[in-house]
Amino acid sequence: MRVAMLIEPGRIELREVERPVPAAGALLLRVRAALTDGTDVKAYRRGHPQMPMPTRFGHELSGDVVQIGAGVASFAVGDAVMCVHSAPCDACFWCARGQEELCETVMSTKILGAYGEYIEIPSHIVTRNCFTKPVDLSYIEAAFLEPLACVVHSIAMLALQSAEFVAVMGDGGFGLLHALVLAERGVRVVLVGRRAERLAIAASLGIDAVDARCVSPAEAILAHSDGRGADALIECTGRRDVWEAAPLLVRRGGHVALFGGLPADARVSFSAARLHYDEVRLFSPFHFTPRAVRAAYELLAHHRIAVRPLITDVVPLARIGEVFARLDAGDGVKFAIEP
């Protein structure tokens, strides 16, 4: 089988490897759609601590079951499925407290390799975070399950009320997904970004979009909030300057979700007076819980948000190097790879 390998930053190779045989409780999928995402782009640009190179990569996927391991009863050969790339152990300190996203083994037992013709889904994922794909949901739409679960978890941490006003900073895939989920829940939302084509996608989906090249984010947010600042702000740029500015853009008592990741050694500074006297609260959402995965599945299965417009292009596996060169240059939002 063919699989894409990230050899070093900026270098991807297609290699022939043995097709895996599923272990007990596992599934072997023929990948039908794999989506690019921000983590993969960061790894392509500069490496990633969770992806020692050379490495298989890609983790947003859907596909068809071609082989099942011993003991699998919930799926059969031929089933179309959608899943995420990790699941908690259900036994550690954090799992016992409902913080499965912080599970001791959730990162060490994750799977990578969606940019390949086949992938093995281990038993712990099969039992917790794997679903039958609805017939009327495309494979590309189904592959949004993982990023959408991250977004659902992020929004849940803010405990928003439907009447609140939320500013989303960043018009990439995650910024757009946050805005879509917030709007579906009846929250008033504005998306702030700098790329005309992405802001046009937001506008076409009914999202109020602000071009930060034409008006300052502070001015736009104050204008949308009677001068108070946003009730909550979700940072999706992964830029240090935006992290540091975020607490200044919410109202007194407002919440900030620092969703966009920075390099592991990054340091940021915030105004102590703003946090203390104005009770601005900071959150930093990470990963997702099985509850978030289930909620994301429901959003997709019932077509409650439109994710297909976020796909810039659909390309075969042989062109994956071209795709990442385009993403590295800032071209497009998300690409669908069809191995």
pLDDT string in tens for the chain (339-residue length)? 999 999 999 999 999 999 999 999 999 999 999 999 999 998 999 888 888 899 999 999 999 999 999 999 999 999 999 999 999 999 999 999 999 999 999 999 999 999 999 999 999 999 999 999 999 999 999 999 999 999 999 999 998 887 899 999 999 999 999 999 999 999 999 999 999 999 999 999 999 999 999 999 999 999 999 999 999 999 999 999 999 999 999 999 999 999 998 988 899 999 999 999 999 999 999 999 999 999 999 999 999 999 999 999 999 999 999 999 999 999 999 999 999
> How many helices and strands in the chain, by DSSP H and E?
12, 16
Return the pLDDT at 74.
95
- Reported as type and span, the H/E element at residue 2 is strand 2-8
Cα–Cα distance, 109 to 95 (Å, whole number): 15
Cα–Cα distance, 98 to 76 (Å, whole number): 31
Q: Could you give the residue range(s) of every CATH 3.90.180.10 domain in the chain?
A: 2-144+307-338
- Reported as type and span, the H/E element at residue 149 is helix 145-158
Considering the four listed CATH numbers 3.40.50.10440, 3.30.230.70, 3.40.50.720, 3.90.1150.10, the one that applies to the domain covering 150-283 is 3.40.50.720
Return the pLDDT at 263.
86
Return the pLDDT at 171.
96
Report the SS3 class of residue 101: helix
* Region of residue 182 (phi > 0: left; psi between -120 and 50: alpha; otherwise: beta): alpha
Return the pLDDT at 26.
98
pTM over 0.85: yes
Cα–Cα distance, 150 to 94 (Å, whole number): 18
Q: Could you give the residue range(s) of every CATH 3.40.50.720 domain in the chain?
A: 150-283
Return the pLDDT at 302.
98
CB 4 within 8 A of CB 57: yes
Of 52, 41, 49, 60, residue with least CA distance to 8: 52
Return the pLDDT at 290.
98
Cα–Cα distance, 177 to 194 (Å, whole number): 16
CATH class assigned to 2-144+307-338: alpha beta
